[in-house]
């Protein structure tokens, strides 16, 4: 096994904004935990700067934002900006999950999101994406 495979991947699963639907976040947090990742869950109704501070303080490898409110085009860029301000953007794999219109996915990826996962995505697909794309440290 390589050193990358041996170390534990640290993930923050975050609910940003006023979105109160957290079932998907709980499902992905549990799947990540069951896959051997260390998982931190932000809880509901967090501001972008709170999510960024938590990601930096916890020194996470992966930041997964779960959003269903439709505010992704406003809130995700604020998270990206905050990660850049802290110098944490380059070594944090940023994922977005939830109900994201196809037309918005390209813009989120251009902003710096590594991948957007919609409803019905197989959990194993998300786990493998993380394993294959987590930044080396």
Q: If you average pLDDT over residues 121-129, what whole number do you get?
A: 97
Check residues 5 and 45 and name the one with the higher pLDDT: 45
Q: If you average pLDDT over residues 44-58, what whole number do you get?
A: 96
Among the listed ranges 5-19, 36-50, 58-72, which one has the minimum average pLDDT value? 5-19
Percentage of residues of the chain with pLDDT beyond 90: 82
Question: In this predicted structure, what is the pLDDT of residue 5?
Answer: 52
Is residue 69 pLDDT above 90, yes or no? no
Q: Given CA atoms 25, 28, 30, 33 in this order, what sign does their dihedral have?
A: negative
């Amino acid at each position: 096994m390589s050193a990358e495979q041996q170390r534990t991947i640290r993930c923050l699963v975050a609910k940003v904004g006023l979105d109160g639907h957290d079932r998907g976040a709980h499902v992905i947090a549990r799947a990540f935990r069951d896959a051997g990742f260390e998982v931190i869950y932000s809880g509901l109704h967090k501001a972008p700067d709170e999510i960024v501070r938590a990601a930096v303080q916890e020194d996470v490898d992966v930041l997964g934002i779960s959003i269903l409110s439709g505010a992704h085009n406003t809130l995700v860029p604020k998270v990206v900006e905050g990660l850049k301000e802290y110098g944490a953007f380059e070594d944090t794999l940023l994922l977005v999950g939830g109900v994201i219109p196809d037309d918005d996915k390209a813009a989120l990826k251009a902003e710096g999101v590594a991948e957007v996962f919609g409803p019905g995505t197989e959990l194993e697909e998300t786990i493998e994406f993380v394993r294959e794309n987590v930044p080396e440290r």
